[in-house]
Amino acid sequence: MLDALSKGAIKMKLIIAEKPDQGSTLASIFKNKKQNGFIEIFPNDTFTNGAYVTWAIGHLCQLVNPEAYEPGWKKWSLDNLPMIPAQFQYEVTKDKIRQFSVIQKLVNNPAVTEIIHAGDAGREGELIIRNILRITGCRKPMKRLWISSLTPNSIREGFNKLLDEDHTRNLYYEAYTRACADWVVGMNASRLYSLLLQKQGFSDVFSVGRVQTPTLALIVKRELEIENFKSEPFWEVIAHFNIDGKKYSGKWQNDGETRVKTKEMAEKVAAFCREKPAEVSDVQSERKEFFPPLLYNLSALQAEANKRYKFSPKKTLDVLQKLYQKGNVSYPRSDSRYVTKEEANTFPEILTKLSHINGYDKFFPLPIESLIDNKRYVNEKKVTDHYAIIPTEQIPNVDRLDPDEKKLYDLIVTSLIAAHYPKAIAEYTTVTTLVDGRAVFQSKGKVQIEEGWRKVINQKEKEDEPSLPQLTKGEQGRTVKVDVKESQTQPPKRYTEGQLITLMKTAGKHIEDKEMEKILSKTEGLGTEATRAGIITMLKDRKYIDVTKNLVYATAKARILIEAIGQEILASPEMTAKWEQKLKEISEGAASPKNFMEQTNKMVSHLISSGVGHSANWVFSEDVRENFTPSKKMTKGKGGTKLGKCKKCDGSIVDKGSFYGCSNYQKNQCNFTISKKILGKNITQKNVKLLLSEGKTELIEGFTNKDKTFNARLFLDEQEKRVKFLFEEQGSKTVTKS
């Protein structure tokens, strides 16, 4: 390395990227030589004396722990709260010290006279590189590389149009303030609620955060809505008509309502209508136009990939990052769904290349040649730091992409192609049929008039409306058959991970205060494009949520925390709205970081006094207490609570965290287990005790299978040593395996 640095008085530039592969990509367009922890670029037209490229490994530095400020703060005690440092300090993370040393030597090398900040073009990238330079004590002049794709053309153009350092400095102030405020809230609130809940018998670490906690509150709210929902039966009367050889069906309705509250009433209506004459009394048709979808930003792409392929938001971001590193797509963490005219001018070249790829060729020639004047897609005012996620001119060999990359790349490509197609037009028809001049039935149907962009993006939506024959008012026929269909009202559906991303982005919809709703819609809801996937992953890791078959469940731990926080602003989107507004103002140079931190400190002090005061009145249900499982760290060395005798050996059944199992597993490999969650219902310790002692549980309400809910007991089949469902109907038993 020293040989590479001994350049005497030659003036060289040091480029610092955010990640190793990014650094390699930036250097790859020049002749270069790889060294240990950096790359040497040889002299060229852009860097006449050559340059060095090195890199961070993501967040190379972190805010120090509380005990670094005050040794006494190491102890978790209410007496130590609030912990508010006079001056925040960063340190290099232990596992990244070697790479930091490489950067430090390069920064301090006399041959290096200018730094080029080449972190990701966003607030986190801004923070990562500037923090490193701060710790090295660097005082050398700096320029900013700001690019939205890693293609050779973009890299070369970016180096030729470097921004002045002050152009992005406020973005750094925002990111730094955000990190410090999150430290104050997280460190204090997590200790506060962990200590107070320990007094209630919940021995665990309860992590609390500015974004994760309001997100969790929304999930818990849905969990409670599902739990408190009382399913009720209803009936519908379905008639099948034959009008002059044309067959269709319709639902009976009364004052616009198709649901009948009693079976007797439904059967009466059906009996009245059977074999009676029928007449088409009204036909209403309405044409609807559907524009092609907007181009993707990260949240929209995460939601779509989850809906189509069950990708977690984190997986989508990781795969997208790979495509970005290869130069195949533009910057992944974009929050915009628009492009500028400059990008729109590159579309013809990109699309021409795509037209030669098998699978996309069938969509060409395009009905619309250019989007340059289409403000639905090309809108300078709606492009923030980055434009929408689009394919770059560096088209990959699609067959060589791995399956996940191929799926995401296809979504991005087809969204661009579809934008060059006309709107889709459908005709929706509502037919009213009168049976015997009295009973009113309604039928709905849809006819696709113009396929438009739907030729490109097959949405695979379930169409509620079947096709209807061509019917005219006044036509007559007969009612050939009438059915009575019994159904149950269904609870609200659980969020998928994709819907959770959308919910975080549009959290303003959950706010009654219209002013706050406006602020939150401007600041893009809870978290940022870059952080939402991480927040969901964090909620999983900290055992606040379970994701089963792509559905999000709040755990007992989550319910305990949100119940304890109650009406505190910490659990509300309103607080996040106010924070995000102020942070955005800091990035625009319109607000002071110092004032923001003062407000945060006041809020935390209030939270501590309020939390301590309210904790005496906390009451947690027996169900939540029984379902609570401390994390493994908190239960090391402790034997689990014995719930009953094992049915396979002489062991005991204990709570093992994610399931109930035999205490003898280590000793004799006994594999007798009972699931902790069956068809969406948590199986409490109380019911497991009943199952083991009496052979069956109490009646459990709200099992969910394929959008249907039902009530049942669980019973233990002694012969098969398996848990099964027990349905009790009019004295008889129906048994189904669980």
Which residue numbers are catalytic? Answer: 331
Give helix 532-541 / helix 313-325 axis angle, nearest 10°.
Answer: 130
Side chain identity, residue 641: T
Q: Which residues pair with 207 in a beta bridge?
A: none
* HSE-up (13 A, CA, CB side) for residue 224: 13
Alpha-carbon separation of residue 551 from 125, 309, 547, 631 (angstroms): 32, 13, 5, 22
CA distance 82 to 597: 14
Helices (H) and strands (E) in the chain, counts: 24, 27
Shortest CA distance to 419 belongs to which of 475, 380, 464, 371?
371
CA distance 388 to 338: 5
Give helix 313-325 / helix 403-419 axis angle, nearest 10°.
Answer: 80
Both structure tokens of 542:
């900290």
Matching residue, tokens 């002299």: 43
* Residue 642, phi then psi, degrees to nearest 5: -80, 125
Alpha-carbon separation of residue 336 from 45, 274, 320, 323 (angstroms): 34, 57, 16, 18
Q: Which residues pair with 54 in a beta bridge?
A: 16, 38
**Is 483 in contact with 546 (CB distance < 8 Å)?**
no
**Is 142 in contact with 170 (CB distance < 8 Å)?**
no
CA distance 614 to 486: 47
Q: Which residues pair with 445 in a beta bridge?
A: 429
CA distance 505 to 520: 9
**Is 496 in contact with 548 (CB distance < 8 Å)?**
no
Both structure tokens of 700:
């459990």
> Buried (b) or exposed (e) across 201-236, using 16+ Cβ within 10 A?
ebebbbbbbbbbbbbbbbbbebbeebeeeeeeebbb
CA distance 2 to 13: 16
Greatest alpha-carbon span in the chain: 102
Matching residue, tokens 């001056």: 87
Side chain identity, residue 411: L
CA distance 350 to 549: 37
